[in-house]
Chains A and B, each alone.
Chain A
């Protein structure tokens, strides 16, 4: 095979320059700014700035509320990712098995994808409203003194439910595509070898679906960490008692609302490291067990 070669040395670089510029302007530069600001203490208007070393980080980490927020974020992200993936997988498997009217089900299950997180949050506000919310009334009718305005657990339930609902459709699309890419021959062979549908799913379908599942896991963790911001901002704003403030929401509260640039930069650097670490773990540990 003939090797494609550019005649000039600069042309390839010129061709990738636009892409590099975009990455630099929108990713590298802001990240570098955040790292720089996290070591500085500055007044909101940027009139006086001083280097404070790791002071911002120490203050953030020693803050009791930050630790609580980190724990909430871990539980929240874990539950959102797990529930939205599990429900989506169930729905995808069921939708895949339908012979008639499959597209109707598919459309019904995927349209939610088009709903913006903030809109989903607003729907949540109405559904869980104290006086007009049907879900609120339903929970109360079951004898659960459901009160998301005061109770952290109840408020967490509302944001988790809405965040999961919002994410199911995305996961559903991926899982369904993954299921449909499993070769027919393999399925038929499995059908002959094993009559138990559940076992067949565990031993044949699921392993073959693992690459899709891994990808979905990565995007779900990112979703639960960052994109649920809109849901939380519209529904609880971190209340009650700061109990539903995720780490990302705290960056917004301290930096954007509170004008503490150094402190919130330190928080976002910590978050960057956390997500980086999480992604590395996912790729190193989990991916090794997956066969493409």
Chain B
């Protein structure tokens, strides 16, 4: 009886505390797509933010995968119940950025709520992907990663080869790895690694209208000679047993690398933390290979994948101030360094990168620096990223065609013709919806 009473009293006390806090603090909702360990890191950041001040209370809510989160956000917006902040992935960014008036651009949000915004504070490979053509950020880059090459050190030592810098070098070492008993390479995201970033790495335009940044793009450029060459090569490698294509799922292509069937794997710079746990061998990390024959000796930067945070418009001033304060907290070097260390995603500001260097983190973990170094490589006209409508479906078309190329049921030329046709139809359709 007494115990019940105590529990009651405690509960009542808690409820009052809760009510008190709710009265004092402005609630901010944050919908995200970070499951598992990543979700816990997001919760830690939210907790730290809430502890760092008393005016705002940020509540992070996990809404499922990237697509589910975007759909949930769209449904909530249509019902007039949008959250303050939503995490939208790279392929969905055109959808939300082209929705006129749905989002409060981050640069304006920060400037109008007492947090000055400077584009130069952000790492060059990061700052443009979610920005408008003038460089003002619309979305705040959040979990940013870029494709890099992971290699099994034992396998390469056994074959007596060095990790390749270029695809030409890959062609030299791959047969040696095969002789040593390995399939030389697999990769986990054909649209992202072999298509989108292929264009950035070689500075090839990916779509018209400055890759979609200057307007609503209607012409895709995937059906070009370099892409056809690369995929013809990849298919040849596959048939020669040098390249493994294990379908279109991320994990299915990573698994053979973990199982030491495959010697090198192209994944995300953010995969590094997970690999350390699952791989039972020493691995190294290096930049994404490029074709020397295309770039003529130049090495261009890749761009980021992952997702950004967008603030919905039409919210109370106090809430927007809270969002600005949270973004300020999020971009602090300490927060960024924590996020970088915990997840393997790249830090998004120069100050955070400097902090990570100064603490000597990269001396202990040289692999963690590769992604960010790659993002700081030479930038030219086509390294900002892309902004294309209905891009989730365009990726679906690409995956469908690539599957057929690697199953040997469709020629490279036919597949790229189908991608061009399918993608242009989708782009034209999207252009009609936003006019």
Contact = CB atoms under 8 A, between A and B. Distances in A.
Given A41-B432, A258-B396, A260-B393, A150 B407 contact: yes
A240 B67 contact: no
A152 B248 CA distance: 13
A43 B130 CA distance: 19
Interface residues of B, number: 44
Contact of A43 (B70, B99, B247, B396): B99
A34 to B, nearest CB: 15
Contacts of B102: 45, 47
A43 B98 contact: yes
Given A240-B247, A256-B71, A43 B433 contact: yes
- Mostly, the A contact residues are loop
A227 interface: no
- Mostly, the B contact residues are helix
B8 interface: no
A44 B393 contact: no
A207 interface: no
Interface string A228-264: 0000000001011111000000000110111110110
B29 interface: no
A259 B399 contact: no
Contact of B407 (A43, A48, A241): A241
Given A149-B252, A151-B407, A45 B99 contact: yes
Given A65-B400, A241-B404, 5 more contacts: A45-B99, A59-B429, A151-B407, A253-B393, A260-B390
| The 9 residue pairs across chains A and B that have the minimum distance between CB atoms | A149-B247, A241-B403, A45-B99, A242-B400, A258-B393, A240-B403, A43-B433, A241-B404, A257-B67
Interface of B: 67, 70-71, 74, 77-78, 92, 95-96, 98-102, 245-249, 252, 255-256, 259, 390, 392-393, 396-397, 399-401, 403-404, 406-407, 409-410, 422, 425, 429, 432-435
28 contacts: A41-B433, A43-B98, A44-B95, A44-B99, A44-B433, A45-B95, A45-B99, A46-B77, A47-B99, A47-B100, A47-B102, A48-B433, A48-B434, A48-B435, A65-B400, A130-B246, A131-B259, A152-B409, A237-B249, A239-B403, A240-B248, A242-B403, A253-B393, A257-B393, A258-B390, A258-B393, A258-B396, A260-B393
Interface of A: 41-48, 50, 59, 65, 130-131, 149-152, 237, 239-243, 253-254, 256-260, 262-263
